Amino acid sequence: MWLINHATEFPPSAKESVLCVGNFDGVHLGHQRMLAEAKSLARKRNLHFVVMTFHPHPLHILRPNLPRRPLMTVTQRMEILQGFEPDVLWVVKTDQDFLNMTADEFMHNILVKTIAAKAVVEGGNFTFGKGALGTVTTLQENGRSFGWETIIVPTQKAVLRDLSLVDVSSSLIRWLISQGRVADATRLMGRPYTLRGVVARGAGRGTTIGYPTLNIQCEQLLPAPGVYAGQAVLAEQTYAAAISVGNNPTFNGTALTVEAFVLDFSGSVYDQRVEVRFTHWLRDQYKFSGVEALKAQIQRDVDQVRHAATNSLAHVSPSSETRGETSVPDQSNLADAAN
């Protein structure tokens, strides 16, 4: 596989390809279907399979004042995309020059001149070029002249825990995570929502009360404040974990933190990279009357996590995900930007 960042690096031997383009934030079930179909088509026609994605997300350049944390790090995204075995993984270094490229320029410079595309596989809401003026219709009409076929993959559907049927999209996943509905996000992503970060030194209160936690610094979208059941991956070992997202209200904290109490683990991992996976929501954050009341609740949280892990039911808990009662918003208001 070739990993490239610029058109000048594109290997000439990989021309005449099947191309799949997108931001692929979350690499959710819709992305996965699109990538799988592009790979299958390339293999069937003995063509090269090219995946193009962007870093940073174009909205970071277009709307710099609008905070937008990603669903995954670029490394996570690349790892999952590599799992689809593309011949070329093109991670475009997004800048203003690239974003100023018109739809016609993108087709001429990228699809014709660089890739010599024989097929382009996209979702129906795909847009490209300056002002997002290029659409799948643009691809279809120009493909007839320049020799590529445009395959439109239908929108993937998923059933949430409340049995509502929804269109899978990165925007809906972001909304679910912001509501604490991580089990529903898992249904759309095909894997638990996962944060990666570095273990930093915290206030040390967890150790003092008998529940030492990993204080995790990361740049991804954080779930809604609360306590979650999940897993922690340390040095390639996976442990059950109770994960807290919040500001430690019992101690009058103000900063939003992510802390994980890792079951059956001891040792120092400061400054090491860790991965935490959110499987389901347990409860809201509370301001307890004192340390003893907090300790008693933490033990109940840990018992729930251990029970779920022991019974291999980390994704289903009778008392979990009560936030699933929150209605999903009108999906027409959850527009994705180029996947």
Select 14-155's CATH number: 3.40.190.10, 3.90.400.10, 3.40.50.620, 1.10.1660.10: 3.40.50.620
The candidate with the shortest Cα–Cα distance to 231, out of 264, 191, 279, 267, is 279
pTM score, whole prediction: 0.91
Which sequence spans correspond to the domains of the chain? 14-155, 192-324
pLDDT digits (tens, 9 = 90+) for 136-151: 999 999 999 999 999 9
- Say if residues 192 and 34 touch (Cβ distance below 8 Å): no
Q: Confidence class of residue 322 from pLDDT cuts 50, 70 and 90?
A: low
pLDDT digits (tens, 9 = 90+) for 60-114: 888 888 778 999 999 999 999 999 999 999 999 999 999 999 999 999 999 999 9
- Say if residues 233 and 277 touch (Cβ distance below 8 Å): yes
Res 44 pLDDT > 60: yes
What is the share, in percent, of the chain residues with pLDDT greater than 90? 78
Whole-angstrom distance, CA of residue 59 vs CA of residue 39: 28
Whole-angstrom distance, CA of residue 148 vs CA of residue 151: 10
Q: Which of 144-158, 237-251, 319-333 has the lowest mean pLDDT?
A: 319-333
What is the share, in percent, of the chain residues with pLDDT greater than 70? 93
Select 192-324's CATH number: 2.40.30.30, 3.40.50.620, 3.40.50.1110, 3.30.360.10: 2.40.30.30
Averaged confidence pLDDT in the chain: 91
Query: What is the pLDDT at residue 311?
Result: 79
Q: Which of 56-60, 71-75, 289-293, 327-331 has the lowest mean pLDDT?
A: 327-331
